């Protein structure tokens, strides 16, 4: 609905009452409601027809394909996804490989790296939590200090205004290029 406020609606209603008259006004509003309903129905039918045409032409499939292809726009992410999918089923359990084999050494390094990364992530998470709890504790301490502090004294109600204009002898006369000082 356009930007019509209550005052505009009131003016429209008063003008309609004067022009149409109180006898025919309810019939006019009823007819206006019927016309509005027909227009909404036609708009709904048009939207439904457009959706059906899009489905028949394959636009919904193209839209779905484009959305799925959007994940391939970042080459780095695409490569990492492909590597993760390729090595998803690889088990890096070092105990499955022969002692001293290159595969076992690689698996042990990978497990150690995973554990190191997990430890770093846990330490970062704990540091964030400590920082947040420190902020919360500081806020609580500040609130407690504010509650314990005495209330400020009330300012005098009728304080004499201070005059900040300089006295006549303090004001320097404007200087011109011909003045000798």
Residue 138 and residue 159: Cα distance in Å, rounded?
A: 38
Report the C-alpha gap between 121 and 93 in whole angstroms. Answer: 22
Dihedral of the CA atoms 13, 14, 20, 25 (nearest 10)?
Answer: 50
Q: Dihedral of CA 14/16/19/23: which sign?
A: negative
Angle value at C-alpha 53, between 47 and 59, nearest 5 degrees: 105
Q: Where do the H-state alpha helices sit in 58-175?
A: 59-69, 75-86, 102-148
In tens digits, the chain (181 residues) has pLDDT values of: 467 888 998 998 899 889 988 898 889 889 989 999 999 999 999 999 998 888 888 887 888 888 777 766 777 777 887 877 777 666 667 777 788 888 888 888 888 888 888 899 899 888 888 888 777 666 666 666 666 655 555 555 555 555 555 555 555 555 665 655 5
Side-chain-side CA neighbours of residue 107 (13 Å) = 16
* The two structure tokens encoding residue 115: 């554990």
pLDDT of residue 161: 53
pLDDT of 78? 77
pLDDT computed for residue 131 by the predictor? 83
Report the pLDDT value the prediction gives residue 35, as an integer from 0 to 100.
Answer: 96
């Amino acid at each position: 609905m356009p930007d019509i406020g209550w005052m505009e609606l009131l003016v429209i209603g008063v003008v309609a009452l004067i022009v149409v008259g109180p006898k025919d006004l309810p019939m006019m509003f009823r007819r206006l409601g019927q016309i509005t309903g027909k227009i909404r129905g036609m708009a709904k039918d048009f939207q439904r027809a457009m959706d059906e045409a899009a489905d028949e032409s394959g636009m919904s499939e193209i839209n779905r394909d484009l959305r799925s292809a959007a994940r391939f726009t970042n080459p780095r992410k695409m490569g990492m996804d492909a590597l993760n999918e390729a090595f998803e089923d690889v088990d890096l359990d070092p105990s499955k490989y022969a002692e001293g084999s290159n595969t076992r050494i690689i698996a042990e390094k990978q497990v150690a790296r995973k554990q190191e990364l997990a430890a770093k992530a846990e330490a970062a998470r704990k540091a964030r939590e400590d920082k947040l709890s420190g902020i919360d504790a500081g806020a609580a301490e500040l609130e407690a200090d504010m509650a314990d502090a005495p209330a400020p004294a009330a300012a005098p109600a009728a304080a004499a205004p201070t005059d900040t204009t300089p006295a006549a002898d303090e004001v320097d006369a404007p200087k011109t290029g011909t003045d000798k000082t």
